[in-house]
Amino acid sequence: MAISAGAAQAQDASMEALVAAAKQEGQLTTIALPHDWCNYGEVIAGFKDKYGITVNELNPDAGSADEIEAVKANKGNTGPQAPDVLDVGLSFGPAAKKEGLLQPHKVATWDEIPADTKDADGYWYGDYYGVLSFEVNKDIVETPPADWEDLLKPDYANSVALAGDPRVSAQAIQAVYAAGLSRKPDGSPSEIAEAGLQFFKELNAAGNFVPVIGKPASLAQGTTPIMIRWDYNALSGRDTLAGNPEVEVIVPQTGVVAGVYVQAISAFAPHPNAAKLWMEYLYSDAGQLGWLKGYCHPIRFNAMAEAGKIPQEMLDRLPPAEAYSKAKFPSVAEQDEAKAIITAQWDQVVGANVQ
């Protein structure tokens, strides 16, 4: 969206003031950002190099719940253990806002963040997402599946695994939901969940489902030559294996489900201006491309692709861009409704003890 010259000047002045205020604070405290997740190591380095602000990194291996607890535990603490910013799973954003743990900030590129992935008031906003994909060992599977229904073919006997137990793993639950979405694209969350369970019942009855938690080692060894997991993990795994074996990552033609993470600023951030500047950097072209380099699709991906802002060599390392244009972003309520059915009925309907 074009902005007027006057608005652009005001935006520049506002950004200059924010940079000055952030530099005066001198530090940003992050939490739960491992350097090999979404290329965060390079993203953090880029921020430090650009603004000369120290980044204090707390507990890189923490989970979303740990991040929320760190905010609660440090409400009155302005020391180094109090996180300024959060990167959490979608469901944690609305919950943290409701508890008064977040403060709002709308980045300059706000309009390019899809409405269904952000809080209208700016308390939390989608940052990047992955879609459920098929990671395939091509040394064993010569003709990879193109869509969910293909997995039922006899060609894939004893081949297909989930990257988690669908009774407890969010990634595996979303995979069941994605399979159901491919069959019931216009269904309610309950109908989609039931269709997904039916799909895996058929997959198990056909002898194609392997009831173990798929891992990179089992993919490489051939125990689970087709693994269903987030594309960013699959693409990183492909690079790590470096052709031994050859791996192909396929986004299915239907049932493309996206799992989105969200950014937010702590309501008690000791360095609020540095936190806002961090958000501006993450949602700039540089920050978004930094995540994409780590195979996490930035939330502005579609807008940037349309504007020709994504280097071709980066696109060449990904599945086709049009595959991602079909992605569906289930809301927290939709996920919760489907999760209740999938976790409760997996044993009864599918009858495969994944472990």
The Cα–Cα gap between 24 and 52 comes to: 11
Judge contact between 231 and 319, C-beta under 8 A.
yes
The answer to whether domain 13-128+259-315 and domain 130-258+323-349 are alike in fold is: yes
| CATH superfamily, region 130-258+323-349 | Periplasmic binding protein-like II (3.40.190.10)
Q: Which two three-digit tokens encode residue 38?
A: 């979404």
What are the CA-CA distances from residue 344 to residues 145, 194, 338 (Å)? 29, 11, 10
Task: Give 239's Cβ-side CA count (13 Å radius).
Answer: 11
The dihedral built from the CA positions of residue 117, 133, 150 and 336, taken in this order, carries a sign that is negative
Distances (CA, A) of 97 to 101, 119, 263, 325, 343: 6, 9, 12, 29, 27
DSSP for 289-330, written as a single string: HHHHHTTPEETTHHHHHHTT-S-HHHHTTSS-HHHHTT-B--
Q: Which pLDDT score, from 0 to 100, does residue 200 have?
A: 98
Q: Please name the residues in contact with 16: beta carbons below 8 A apart, sequence gap of 6 or more.
A: none
What is the pLDDT at residue 323?
85
Specify the residue for token string 């709308």: 106
Residue 7 CB burial class (10 angstroms; 0-12, 13-18, ≥19): exposed
Backbone angles phi, psi at 58, to 5 degrees: -90, 140
Q: How many CB atoms lie within 10 A of CB 217?
A: 9
pLDDT in tens, the chain (355 residues): 455 555 555 567 799 999 999 999 999 999 999 998 899 999 999 999 999 999 999 999 888 889 999 999 999 898 999 999 999 988 889 999 999 999 999 999 999 999 989 999 999 999 999 999 999 999 999 999 999 999 999 999 999 999 989 988 888 999 999 999 999 999 999 999 999 999 999 999 999 999 999 999 999 999 999 999 999 989 988 998 999 999 999 999 999 999 999 999 999 999 999 999 999 999 999 999 999 999 999 999 989 999 999 999 999 988 887 888 888 989 888 999 999 999 999 999 999 999 8
DSSP string, 141-209: -SS---SGGGGGSGGGTT-EEESS-TTT-HHHHHHHHHHHHHH-TT--HHHHHHHHHHHHHHHHHTT-B
| pTM value surpassing 0.95 | no
Which residues, 6 or more positions from 352, have their beta carbon under 8 angstroms from its beta carbon?
A: 200, 204, 209, 211, 346
Question: What confidence score (pLDDT) does residue 4 get?
Answer: 54
Residue 260 backbone phi and psi in degrees, to 5 = -105, 140
Which is it for strands 258-266 and 125-137: parallel, antiparallel or unpaired? antiparallel
β pairing state of 125-137 and 160-162: unpaired
Question: What is 13-128+259-315's CATH number?
Answer: 3.40.190.10
- List the chain domain ranges: 13-128+259-315, 130-258+323-349
